[in-house]
Amino acid sequence: MFAFAVKRIVQAVVVMLIISFIGFAIKHNFGDPVRELVGERVTPEERAQIRERLGLNDPFIIQYGRFLAAALQGDLGRSFFFKRPVTEVILSKAPATLELVFCAAIIVIVLSVPMGVYAAIHPRRLLSQIIMGSSIVGVSIPVFLTAIMLIYVFSVELGWLPSFGRGDTVTVFGFWDSGLLTRDGLLHLIMPSIALSSIMLPLFIRLIRSEMLEVLESEYVKFAWAKGLRPRRVWYVHAFKNTLLPVITVGGVQLGIMVAFTILTETVFQWQGMGSMFIESVSRADTALMVSYIVVVGAIFVVVNTLVDLIYGLVNPTVRVAGRQ
């Protein structure tokens, strides 16, 4: 177990290095941050001086080396726009994104499991057809369209839900601004979470359904039927348990993807999390923030996948044996 964990951590560090290198290498293509900092009247000479002061004229390798050296001490640089260390900025934006992903994940789990299982157990029923049909529609509508439609129906036309932002938040543990603890905050969460879950939900329904169908065809399920077990026991205890294995793996990867998908959802809902922060930093060529976001999201991917592997190892011992070799 320990060797497995160490191996994963070394892998993670290599992945992070590569991600940061790529992030750093492409940052020049996003334009000149100095342009975004100064007004139109500032002369090219003065802009050059500002570039020099910020160390933007140094060769790529020196800049990258400086970044790495500072990063090892936990300093990812300063955001030009926010005028604060980027770690501070990202930490202040992370709760918004994580809460959004958390709520969307709950929607996905709570809805996809019963729907997927139902569609597998009763493939021919009308409700199953409806579930499967609408999941195709769901997976093919882009997130931003879903988001805008939600806003127009529920905010503009019906006036039931707030159209943008996080609403009232409460600070817990001294740093975490939570929208989960106020009524207003929860109301603001509804539409963004639905929009964010709209891509993953159909995917998971289909995944659970097909896995479940496969398991229901397997020998041991047939044996269970032959033993004369009650249908509920066969479905929910014998079949469903084994359906979950592949779902956990895919779920881990998808959770990371969901963090990346928040970029669109947050932009449309003016949700002040890491996703909208990233898009804004790209348009402002706020390079330190851009690179750090890529590194942080990369880190989330790596951590989540490592956790999934560990959990999977607990559920399925063959993985653990493979890791020991």
Nearer to other proteins, 111 or 279 (CB): 279
Q: Within 3-62, which residues bind other proteins (CB under 8 A)?
A: 29-32, 35-44, 46, 50, 54
Nearest partner of 95 among 201, 9, 169, judged by Cα: 169
Residue tagged 């249908």 (tokens)? 231
Pairing of strands 170-172, 176-178: antiparallel
**304 contributes a contact to other proteins by CB under 8 A:** no
CB of 24 to other proteins, least distance (A): 17
The C-alpha atoms of residue 239 and residue 146 are separated, in whole angstroms, by 34
CB of 188 to other proteins, least distance (A): 10
**In Å, what is the CA distance from 54 to each residue of 38, 78, 88, 108?**
14, 11, 20, 45
CB of 292 to other proteins, least distance (A): 15
CB of 268 to other proteins, least distance (A): 6
Q: Within 154-183, which residues bind other proteins (CB under 8 A)?
A: 155-156, 159, 162-165
Q: Report the residue from 119, 259, 268, 300 that binds other proteins according to the rule CB under 8 A.
A: 268
CB of 266 to other proteins, least distance (A): 10
Nearer to other proteins, 39 or 74 (CB): 39
Q: Report the residue from 102, 186, 267, 299 that binds other proteins according to the rule CB under 8 A.
A: 267
Task: State the binding string over 221-260 for other proteins (x if CB under 8 A, else -).
Answer: ----------------------------------------
Q: Within 55-94, which residues bind other proteins (CB under 8 A)?
A: 78, 80-84
CB of 104 to other proteins, least distance (A): 19
CB contact at 8 A, 281 and 79: yes
Burial class of residue 44 in the structure, from the number of CB atoms within 10 Å of its CB (0-12 exposed, 13-18 middle, 19+ buried) = exposed
CB of 191 to other proteins, least distance (A): 11
Q: Report the residue from 86, 94, 143, 277 that binds other proteins according to the rule CB under 8 A.
A: 277
Report the amino acid identity of residue 152: Y
Q: Within 185-224, which residues bind other proteins (CB under 8 A)?
A: none
CB of 79 to other proteins, least distance (A): 8
Residues 6+ apart with CB under 8 A from 274: 90, 93, 94, 96, 97, 259, 262, 266, 293, 296, 297
Nearer to other proteins, 254 or 287 (CB): 287
**In Å, what is the CA distance from 95 to each residue of 84, 101, 102, 170, 286?**
18, 10, 10, 11, 21
Nearer to other proteins, 152 or 225 (CB): 152
Burial class of residue 227 in the structure, from the number of CB atoms within 10 Å of its CB (0-12 exposed, 13-18 middle, 19+ buried) = exposed
Give, as one character, the DSSP assignment of residue 167. -
Could you tell me how far CA 51 lies from the centroid of its own chain?
A: 34
**Cα atoms in the 13 Å half-sphere on the side-chain side of 53:** 9
The C-alpha atoms of residue 45 and residue 40 are separated, in whole angstroms, by 13
Nearer to other proteins, 49 or 218 (CB): 49
**152 contributes a contact to other proteins by CB under 8 A:** yes
Nearest partner of 197 among 94, 264, 105, 132, judged by Cα: 105
Which residues in this chain contact other proteins in the complex, by CB under 8 A? Answer: 29-32, 35-44, 46, 50, 54, 78, 80-84, 148, 151-152, 155-156, 159, 162-165, 267-270, 272, 276-277, 280, 282-285
